[in-house]
Amino acid sequence: MDARADTDRLRALDRDHHLHPFTVFPELRAKGSRIITHAEGCYIFDSNGNRILDGMAGLWCVNLGYGRERLARVAYEQMQELPFYNAFFQTATVPSIELARALAEILPEGFERVFFASSGSEANDTVIKSVWYYWNLMGKPAKKTFISRTLGYHGVGLGSASLTGMRFMHDPFDLPLERFHHIGNPYWFAEGGDLDPEAFGKVAAGWLEAKILEIGPENVAAFVAEPIQGAGGVIIPPSTYWAEVQRICRQYDVLLVADEVICGFGRTGNWWGSTTFDIAPDIIPMAKGLSSGYQPIAAVAFHDRIADVLAASGTEYAHGVTYHGHPVAAAVALETIRIMREEGLDTRASGPIGACFRDRLMTLADHSLVGEVRTCGLLACVELVEDKAARRPYPAARKVGLTCREHCFDNGLVMRAIRDGMVLSPPLIVSEREIDEMVTKAADAFDLTLRSLAG
Ligand code: PXG
């Protein structure tokens, strides 16, 4: 069977039997999915033989790139040795223990203990339940309300989706649950108006204080935020923002949760986005880069000041999934961390390659469609606008971002569109040559998008 016929067959099966996530079903049925068959390094290949530069590292996760034989080998060996055992009945497995210790070594000072999960969503539901449990143990049962941000992304579970600050993820499901509140985000490009970014950063942090006072500090459990908002559009906060947020959380005895699911594992040039932004969180959920996307595994790290309270409780911590600390996933995560250390990938994004990424992308700022280029480590967003000076986007109905994304795909580049922000988060192993290719292809796609808009 030739590749083309097989694509048609697979598309038909996909259409008939597979409900996709975050998808308008009739649209996909009409179009058919692009079937990714294999990958190597920073490139993915589809069933029609197209070679595509993956500017998104899968879904912000394949930090080591594709085709890492060592990760495949440890998975194979662990499956033969012990494919599964649980951690429920006072048992543990070797890889889960070793991974917990390896994480304690790379986590910020004071983080010695982790709890495992299989996805970032589960990790954030673990955060919510652990925080509620913590305040019960502390004799402050009223402190139960969570504050997070609009355009924040924290997952799809009932709790984690409630933390998420996206209307389209709430309205169809009657979310958020009670006790989840949202404040605005530090998105200077869209919301900063005439303020300079530093002044706006302080204003945006002030929204947290106002919300805490509105709810009553005695009722507020925690503030949950990504160091840089990823799925919200790579929103890099002004330099004044995090110090002020930190001060406010301390002042009102509100726990600070830094969601490191995207920013963790070298994305911003350090193991943690919290280090890059000088944040001292109480709790750190992580996923994605933990196993470089090779296995579904996540974790929540607790600072000793929280972990000590949980660990001292004589009541059962009645929480955890079957695959908690799954030995195969844990073995792959452990090997991921080893490889990152050997190759210096934890800091690569803050070295010459990060500078190259920033400098080459900045050359796009002169394009007439580009309103702003912002980067941090190996994360970037290029805002497409109708009016550069006024930072005004095209009307949403023009679907500029989606048009550009299609041009990128057709031209052999995966670039994610978030509204009209074109986002990149390539594997941390990306080379200068691949960065050049990415920027050239993006520029071509911007030209084609302009032409589509005119036509
Ligand atoms: N926190 C953050 C910061 C995330 O980015 C999650 C939690 C949830 O992780 P799981 O493993 O449950 O998906 C995420 C996930 C996108 C996109 O379109 C982003 C994510 C997931 C799916 C799509 O950018 N981030």
**Whether 357 contacts 363, CB under 8 Å:** no
Distance 3 CA to ligand 1 centre (A): 32
For 149-172, what is each residue's pLDDT tens digit?
999 999 999 999 999 999 999 999
Q: How far is the CA of 154 from the centre of ligand 1 (A)?
A: 6
- β-strands 145-149, 180-183: how paired? parallel
pLDDT tens per residue across span 320-367? 999 999 999 999 999 999 999 999 999 999 999 999 999 999 999 999
Beta bridge partner(s), residue 379: 376
Q: Which residues pair with 223 in a beta bridge?
A: 147, 256
Q: How far is the CA of 288 from the centre of ligand 1 (A)?
A: 8
Nearest CA to ligand 1 atom 20: 231
Minimal-distance CA residue to ligand 1 atom 7? 154
Pocket probe for ligand 1: among 122, 166, 288, 402, the residue whose CB has the most ligand atoms within 8 Å is 288
- Express each pLDDT in 30-54 by its tens digit: 999 999 999 999 999 999 999 999 9
The domains located in the chain, with CATH, are 34-63+347-454 (3.90.1150.10), 70-343 (3.40.640.10)
Q: How far is the CA of 119 from the centre of ligand 1 (A)?
A: 9
Q: In what order do the strands lie in the sheet with 180-183?
A: 111-117, 298-303, 283-286, 255-258, 220-225, 145-149, 180-183
Residues near ligand 1 (Cβ within 6 A): 59, 119-121, 124, 153-155, 226, 230-231, 259, 261-262, 287
Question: Ligand 1 centre and the CA of 155: distance in Å?
Answer: 6
Give tens-digit pLDDT for 373-427. Answer: 999 999 999 999 999 999 999 999 999 999 999 999 999 999 999 999 999 999 9
Residue of 22, 56, 60 best suited for mutating to test ligand 1, as the one with most atoms within 8 Å of CB: 60
CA of 447 to the centre of ligand 1 (A): 30
Distance 164 CA to ligand 1 centre (A): 10
Predicted TM-score (pTM) of the model is 0.98
Atom of ligand 1 nearest to the CA of 119: 11
**pLDDT tier at 455, thresholds 50, 70, 90:** confident
CA distances (Å), origin 436, targets 151, 276, 440:
30, 26, 6
Residue 234 clears pLDDT 70, i.e. is over it: yes
Residue 120 has pLDDT above 90, yes or no: yes
| Distance linking the first and last C-alpha atoms of the chain | 39
Handedness of CA 444, 234, 434, 277 (dihedral sign): positive
